[in-house]
Chain A
Amino acid sequence: MSRTGTKLDAKKVNSELFTLTYGSIVAQLLQDYENVEDVNKQLERMGYNIGIRLIEDFLARTGSGRCYDFKDTAEKIQSGFKIFLGITPSITNWSPAGDEFSLCFETNPLTEFVELPDNYSNLKYCNILPGVLRGACEMVQMEIACWFVQDQLKNDNLTELRVKFVKRLEDAIPAGED
């Protein structure tokens, strides 16, 4: 290469591509739907679709088996964030019963270039993440609920994602086999 410019960093470019692509999706959804709630819902659904496929990647990469308890699940979710997004959210605020915890993000690659205008205060910009978690957990027979408690885009100090265990999903028996 004769060019003297700095070499492009493939990893950085890739994460920027991801961030910007996500941004353009949110922008497009805001154009398509009048109601911000619908945008949140649509983002969650996209996340769910991604989650049910991503879990396979996760299991294949880590070779991890079943979770012993919800604490174990929390740690695996944490390592999932490390693997796929390169960030390590901290696990905090366990409920006494041990069925609810929070993931706290100091940085969030999804919101790297984002500023939220005031009139979109209902928009859950990162709502794809709860969807991903829900989809992924459903594929390992766990129903969870997941929502944002705090959001840096709304001037909170950190982004906090609350995860609640709902129930175990039983293996469905194929029709006609009792």
Chain B
Amino acid sequence: MKQQIIDSKANPSSTGEADDCLFEYLHAELVNYVLSRSSNAACSSNAACSSNAEGEEELSRLEWMGFSVGYRIIERLTREWSRFKDELDMIKFICTDFWSSLYHKQIDNLRTNHHGVYVLQDNAFRLLDKVGTSNSKQYLKESPRLLAFTCGLLRGSLANLGIISTVTAETTTLPSCKFHVQVQKI
């Protein structure tokens, strides 16, 4: 009887779901590790300075890891894809297919000034989704930790598509967040 329960849960669609929680746990460990590292290394003398005066934490490692993952994954994803027309086309790809494969939903809102600035808004970002209920502000201060990896992921993906950019994230209320992509003109 129990075996049956296990089997029915292990059908393809739900294993996909399970893979997800693995990524989420792994991501949590990643954040954990990077934070403990930076607080140990940077300021072992001062216990409270894993975040500096503005409350900003040392997250560049996370961002860099995201970058390397994004750089690799986009290469595999777009292998059998037809050529992109232009920059906007690539950003659209990121917002729709890329995002929905990675984070189960498309970007909710894309804005651009047509001069290399794009704002991608996700109203229920997967990695923030389980942190407090909607419109909660309790964990707002910690949320950048959960976004740094994805910022890097975006930057890395775009870099391998030939767009050099800087990506920052912004949250005002959980679980929604905005990613600002600023393309650097060469």
Residues of A within 8 A of B (CB): 1, 3-11, 13-18, 20-25, 27-28, 32, 42, 46, 49-50, 53-54, 57, 61-65, 79, 82-86, 113
Contact = CB atoms under 8 A, between A and B. Distances in A.
Main secondary structure of the interface of B (DSSP, over half): helix
B111 interface: no
Given A11-B19, A57-B21, A63-B5, A21 B10 contact: no
A17 B10 CA distance: 20
Contact of A84 (B12, B19, B73, B102): B19
For chain B, the bracket of interface size reads 35 or more
Contact of A24 (B20, B21, B68, B77): B68
Interface string B5-31: 110011010111011111101110110
Nearest to B26: A21
B80 interface: yes
Nearest to B104: A10
B87 interface: no
B45 to A, nearest CB: 20
Nearest to A46: B29
Nearest to A47: B29
9 contacts: A14-B101, A20-B72, A21-B65, A25-B29, A28-B65, A63-B2, A63-B5, A84-B15, A113-B72
